[in-house]
């Protein structure tokens, strides 16, 4: 199993898909940093001040308060804020779906998986290795994105205040986000092993990521409960809820529980399906 694991790591790091995903995520991260820099410049301009004064003079106090709140957030932007924003917007998640879809399904379309299975390796071990290496690749993508956002924000506006409990909060934030990212990667590996087609797997993983939130929102509207929300237990929503250094205990608890459940389900379902299916 060690040699299989080593071979998969080398295959991942040398693959063009991984390199392209890293380049794309660096480019998208740079675009996001540039966008926030432009927004900060625009919000600090004299024209924006005049717009806010005009809105206030027209009696739209609510809109003015919202604009002032957003202005304050943009004006105080630092590298820390961009690290928090790195996990929102689905940039990492979409590139993760692309990487996992190609890394897993290309083995089936190219016949490599049949060759590996014919060497006498246990199907469960093959799945486990692919599962772990895919998660490793997903975490590397997240590291690249966070690093670019942190570096870009720090060069433009500084990293921000690191006194007090910052490092403890920062560590918790990263641990929870990387845990959720790993659980999502495991879920995508399971889907990819079931579908075994690069294009369909990528589309399915992105589709589930996008439309599950909408579907669960509709369910919450039907349930109409003030004490419980189904959407709070969907990993896509948890990633957004956990995108702050000031994590609440409830978000941490739900993130850990949902991640562990997704790890178990995605591994067991994927391994059983792969074990009991033919490899062509």
Alpha-carbon separation of residue 254 from 133, 175, 235, 239 (angstroms): 25, 14, 9, 11
Question: Total domain count for the chain?
Answer: 2
Residue 256 domain flag:
yes
Residue 125 and residue 138 in one domain:
yes
pLDDT per residue of the chain (280 residues) written in tens, 0 to 9: 778 888 899 999 999 999 999 999 999 999 989 888 887 777 665 555 555 555 555 555 555 555 555 555 666 788 898 998 898 878 899 999 999 999 999 888 877 787 887 787 788 999 999 999 999 999 999 999 999 999 999 998 898 888 888 899 999 999 999 999 999 999 999 999 999 889 999 999 999 888 888 888 888 788 877 778 888 889 989 999 999 898 999 999 999 999 999 999 999 999 999 888 877 7
Residue 128 and residue 48 in one domain:
no
Residue 141 and residue 199 in one domain:
yes
User: Which residue range is the domain that position 71 belongs to?
Assistant: 44-77
d(CA 192, CA 205): 8
Residue 229 and residue 251 in one domain:
yes
172 within 8 A of 252, measured Cβ to Cβ:
yes
Report the predicted TM-score, pTM, of the whole model to 2 decimal places: 0.88
Residue 259 domain flag:
yes
Torsion of CA 117, 121, 123, 125, to 10 degrees: -130
Query: From start to end of the chain, where are the E strands?
Result: none
């Amino acid at each position: 199993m060690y040699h299989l694991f080593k071979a998969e790591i080398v295959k991942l790091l040398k693959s063009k898909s991984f390199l392209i995903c890293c380049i794309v995520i660096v480019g998208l991260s740079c675009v996001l940093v540039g966008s926030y820099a432009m927004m900060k410049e625009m919000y600090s301009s004299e024209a924006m001040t005049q717009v806010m004064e005009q809105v206030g003079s027209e009696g739209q106090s609510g809109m003015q308060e919202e604009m002032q709140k957003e202005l304050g957030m943009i004006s105080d932007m630092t590298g820390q804020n961009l690290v928090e924003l790195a996990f929102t917007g689905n940039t990492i998640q979409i590139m993760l779906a692309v990487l996992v879809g190609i890394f897993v399904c290309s083995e089936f379309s190219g016949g490599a998986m049949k060759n590996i299975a014919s060497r006498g390796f246990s199907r469960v071990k093959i799945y486990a290795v692919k599962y772990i290496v895919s998660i490793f690749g997903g975490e590397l993508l997240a590291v690249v994105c966070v690093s670019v956002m942190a570096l870009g924000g720090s060069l433009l506006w500084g990293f921000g205040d690191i006194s007090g409990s910052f490092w403890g909060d920062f560590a918790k934030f990263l641990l929870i986000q990387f845990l959720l990212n790993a659980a999502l990667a495991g879920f995508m590996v399971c889907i990819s092993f079931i579908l075994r087609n690069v294009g369909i797997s990528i589309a399915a993983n992105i589709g589930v990521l996008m439309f599950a939130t909408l579907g669960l929102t509709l369910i919450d509207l039907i349930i109409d409960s003030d004490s419980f929300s189904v959407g709070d237990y969907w990993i896509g929503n948890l990633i957004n809820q956990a995108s702050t250094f000031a994590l609440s205990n409830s978000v941490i608890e739900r993130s850990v529980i949902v991640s562990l459940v997704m790890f178990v389900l995605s591994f067991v379902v994927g391994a059983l399906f792969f074990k009991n299916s033919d490899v062509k």
